[in-house]
Amino acid sequence: MKITAIKQQIKRFDRYSVYVDGVYTFSLSEAQLVSSGIHSGLEIDSETLAGYQEESTTGKLFDRLLNLFSYRMRSEWEVRDYLRRKQVDESQTTQLIERMQKLGYINDEVFARSWVENRRFGKPTSQRKLRAELQAKRIDRGIVDKILNEDASQTDEMDVLRQLVAKKRARYPDDVKFMQYLARQGFGYDDIKRAIKPSDELG
């Protein structure tokens, strides 16, 4: 078998189509093409071709992961789950995860810290709910404890609760329903009572 042509793709200028014996067979990124040493006229065997095709698939998956991270950071579990749904085999998944880790894209501690910071800039959120969210992302318990301890040293949970009360009070004129809503947000019953009732109303 022989590489008969290498053409820059029209829609993806950063990828090149490789033709074997006159037939399109696989594509590589510019970086992959340079590092592979592939050139027109190169003779290859079936084993070498299979290796190039696997590299092509890995490169495409890596590009998809970069696009995924362009929206927000992802935990390692989220990336593994994404690749599982794409039916990527375990060997390629491990290869991609390790590559993303080396480049700094996957780091669960950084992810957890960023998640909490972003939530703090959004709506008032209880630590209990933050813990549940991080656990849903399969973040290691030790990391969750560390990040939430950092957050607790900087954030007053009662202040967060009062902010939520001020923000949502008008939507819940009924105290019972309001308290149920706040409880679903992860706040404790005694704190909720203090936050929604003036001190002189508490017996």
pLDDT at 197 exceeding the cut of 80: no
pLDDT digits (tens, 9 = 90+) for 76-113: 999 999 999 999 999 899 999 999 999 999 999 999 99
pLDDT digits (tens, 9 = 90+) for 140-155: 999 999 999 999 999 9
Range with the poorest average pLDDT among 2-16, 29-43, 188-202: 188-202
Residue type, 149: N
∠ at Cα 176 (173, 180), nearest 5°?
105
CB 165 within 8 A of CB 173: no
pLDDT digits (tens, 9 = 90+) for 50-73: 989 888 888 889 989 999 999 999
In angstroms, how far is the first alpha carbon of the chain from the final one? 88
Kindly state the tokens that stand for 147.
Answer: 């990040």
- pLDDT at position 14: 84
**Mean pLDDT over all residues of the chain?**
91
Taking the whole predicted model, whether its pTM rises above 0.85 is answered as no
Buried b / exposed e along 163-193 (16+ C-beta atoms within 10 A): ebbeeeeeebeeeeebbebbeebbbeeebbe
pLDDT digits (tens, 9 = 90+) for 16-37: 999 999 999 999 988 888 888 8
